[in-house]
């Protein structure tokens, strides 16, 4: 009786494996060839080609999403300086790169102003606050992406004046070797400059996207001791 029972269980397991086999086989081939070609075409169309950026998109959880080019950034800088002559639009930074240490003087617009000034981003929109919506902006962050899909994140708490208040610049000019102000020819028309960072990993050049997003709710359930 025990022997028969073992054979029955073994037969059942083998049957299940046979039934699962087509499913496992189809998991990698369940997309028809014409759909695979369509997906491949979409991927090729949207892949990161790199190269020189001529504009970037400000979007995500911001009230006035828009696209900026060099002239639009210059005009915005002039407007903001007239409103507040004390606004920091010039920084000199030293940072490490793969080819050694580098010191540059950059000119641009503070990232906080770009996001929050009524004449620019118009302020943060409420994001995903999770379960507790207290200080929900502290769950928000800025994702800055380049044309080659390189990206870096700056937390809103880093640049919010009542918290760290770090100076982060969206730069579009720098001081040349002869002390004249020149455009960022080899870095795209705009790049990120993070004052205080020792390494240049977040100095994203050839900026194509500046997106304000929120951290998702924690996948972990609360545990009470």
> Is 221 part of a structural domain of the chain?
no
User: Is 70 domain-assigned?
Assistant: yes
Specify whether 17 is located in the same domain as 81: no
Contact assessment for residue 175 and residue 19, using Cβ atoms and an 8 Å cutoff: no
The alpha carbon dihedral of 66, 46, 211, 222 has a sign of positive
Number of domains in the chain: 2
Domain presence at residue 148: yes
59 and 39 in a single domain? The answer is no
Which helix H or strand E contains 218, and what residues bound it? none
DSSP secondary structure string, 89-120? Answer: -EEEEEEEETTEEEEEEEEEEEHHHHHHSTTT
What's the rounded mean pLDDT across residues 106-133? 90
Residue 224 within a domain = no
7 and 114 together in one domain: no
Expressed as residue numbers, the domain containing 141 is 55-214
Same-domain check for residues 75 and 177:
yes
Shared domain check, 184 and 112: yes
Same domain assignment for residues 28 and 120: no
pLDDT for res 179: 86
Asked if residue 222 is part of any domain, the answer here is: no
Same domain, 63 and 40: no
Res. 24: pLDDT tops 50: no
| 173 in the same domain as 101 | yes
At 11 the pLDDT is 52
The residue that leads in pLDDT, 2 or 183, is: 183
Does the pTM surpass 0.85? The reply is: no
Instruction: List strands edge to edge, sheet with 207-214.
Output: 66-69, 55-60, 207-214, 140-146, 151-155
Judged against a pLDDT cut of 60, whether residue 188 lies above it is answered with yes
Stretch 157-162: mean pLDDT = 95
83 phi, psi to nearest 5 deg: -70, -40
**CATH code for position 88:** 3.90.420.10
What DSSP assignment string belongs to 14-74? HHHHHHHHHHHHHTTT-S-HHHHHHHHHHHHHHS------SEEEEEESBSS-EEEEHHHHH
Give, as one character, the DSSP assignment of residue 222: P
């Amino acid at each position: 009786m025990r022997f028969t029972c073992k054979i029955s269980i073994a037969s059942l397991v083998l049957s299940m494996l046979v039934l699962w086999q087509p499913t496992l086989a189809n998991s990698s081939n369940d997309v028809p060839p014409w759909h695979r070609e369509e997906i491949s075409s979409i991927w090729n169309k949207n892949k990161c080609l790199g190269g020189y950026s001529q504009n970037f998109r400000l979007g995500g959880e911001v009230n006035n999403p828009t696209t900026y080019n060099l002239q639009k950034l210059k005009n915005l800088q002039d407007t903001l300086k007239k409103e507040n002559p004390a606004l920091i639009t010039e920084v000199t930074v030293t940072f490490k790169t793969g080819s050694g240490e580098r010191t540059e003087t950059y000119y641009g617009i503070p990232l906080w102003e770009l996001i929050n000034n009524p004449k620019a981003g118009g302020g943060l929109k409420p994001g995903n606050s999770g379960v507790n919506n207290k200080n929900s902006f502290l769950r928000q962050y800025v994702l800055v992406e380049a044309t080659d899909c390189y990206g870096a994140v700056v937390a809103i708490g880093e640049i919010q004046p009542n918290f760290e208040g770090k100076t982060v610049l969206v730069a579009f000019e720098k001081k040349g070797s002869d002390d004249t102000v020149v455009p960022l020819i080899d870095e795209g028309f705009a790049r990120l400059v993070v004052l205080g960072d020792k390494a240049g990993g977040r100095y994203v050049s050839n900026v194509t996207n500046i997106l304000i997003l929120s951290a998702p709710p924690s996948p972990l359930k609360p545990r009470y001791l």
